[in-house]
Amino acid sequence: MDVLTLVLAWAGVAGAAFFFGGVTQPEWGICMGLVGVAGVVYWLGTAKYKRAEGDGWLVWGVCGVVVWTAVQTRWFSVAPGRGVEYIFTNAAAGGMLLLGRELGWRYRRRVWVTVAPLLVVAVLEGALGLVQFFAMRAGAGPADSATGTYPNRNHFAGLLEMALPLAVAGAWAWRKTWWAAAGMLGVAGLLVMGTVVSLSRMGFMAALAGLFVMGMMLVGGRGKVLVGVGLVLAGAFLLLPTDEWIARFASIARTEDISGDTRAQIWRDTIPLIRDYWKTGVGMGAYEVAFYKYKNVAPMGTVDYAHNDYLQYLAELGVVGFGLGLSVIGRCFYWMTKGSGALVAGTWGAAAAMALHSLVDFNMYIPANVLMLAWILGLGAATALTEEGRAGSGSGGRW
């Protein structure tokens, strides 16, 4: 049942990633269905005593977010029709988090099996991005950004930046098996180059930040090693970017088709919206509709996202739903502080990268990236339940 659950869950995630990040229907509906079937297969096919140690806080927090989204959509949303999809999206993300925790525990003696599907998806996307970029460079004029199968370079980079710390952590975990470590470093190199050719400024910086956090978790108090990690990352920042990336970084005032000032104005205009709907929120998916009343920025344009996941989730969910979501994430972080070793360091790095990137973008409104982050947090929480996690997850290099 474990293998079937893993295959079904990651068929859903991979399908979402390969179909424009899961932003199109009916493909996203099929992917959510696969994740749901994976959950049913696991809970019906696995005896209770063979499941991970229970965590009522985590389970009830996930259920609370889903129920609150449904209640909000029915009674409080300013655009109820837009919230229905998010009920199922939040349920799928919660299911992936719980399945990640369960299978991370079930595969505790070869835990990197549960990381492999994410790395496979990221490698395929990164390789496609490289092909896109160099094919454009071979043509006339400078190359445009690579996006893989995603509609946006920043969300493509969001996938790669989450996988990168896990690949490097895998190389560390397998350092006693040279061919496996070399393979993981090769994967990491491909993901770095994929992030570079995405031309996403924040994606690249978030990837470096994720690697730094991962390195800090691995080396602990070994200051000289940590300084070395910092110097390597600084060198990567200086040496890896392409001419096209440098040109985009030089125009730092602009991001996509809106300027940095416009983005900051969107954030300022969102604050009054949050203030007026702070209790219940405007409803999931209703930000665009609710924002018209408060929008002073881009009067002739449409603003469908706040370009800051924290502000938008607070505006849409209110303090009740936002608090429930924070309780789930906080509980995962609590478990992650109890674990140690390569895998938990990789999950900290992935979470840090996405946390930074979410300050200026809406990666958490891209279904494929939400599912992947949920899986990563679930795996991080699982490491505290295993002897491998307490003693150094994956350090023995076993699948």
Per-residue pLDDT tens over the stretch 63-109 = 999 999 999 999 999 998 889 999 999 999 999 999 999 999 999 88
The answer to whether residue 216 sits within a structural domain is yes
229 pLDDT tier (thresholds 50, 70, 90): low
Q: Is the pLDDT score of 224 beyond 70?
A: no
By residue range, what is the domain housing residue 342? 55-257+303-392
The answer to whether residue 49 sits within a structural domain is no
Start-to-end CA span in the chain (Å): 18
Percent of the chain with pLDDT over 90: 63
State the pLDDT at residue 81. 87
Instruction: Report, as an integer, the average pLDDT of 239-244.
Output: 50
The domain tally of the chain equals 1
Measured in whole angstroms, the distance separating CA 91 from the mean position of its chain's CA atoms is 16
Global pTM reads: 0.89
The answer to whether residue 40 sits within a structural domain is no
Greater confidence (232 vs 271) lies with: 271
State the pLDDT at residue 398. 36
Percent of the chain with pLDDT over 70: 84
The answer to whether residue 95 sits within a structural domain is yes
- How many CB atoms sit inside 10 A of residue 48's CB? 7
399 pLDDT tier (thresholds 50, 70, 90): very low
The answer to whether residue 263 sits within a structural domain is no
Task: Write down the mean pLDDT value for the chain.
Answer: 85
Amino acid at 329: I
Q: Where are the beta strands (DSSP E) in 187-307?
A: 254-255, 258-259
Half-sphere CA count of 328, side-chain side, radius 13 A: 27
The answer to whether residue 34 sits within a structural domain is no
Which phi and psi (to 5°) does residue 148 adopt? 60, -135
The answer to whether residue 69 sits within a structural domain is yes
State the pLDDT at residue 33. 95
State the pLDDT at residue 246. 45
Q: Is the pLDDT score of 354 beyond 60?
A: yes
The answer to whether residue 280 sits within a structural domain is no
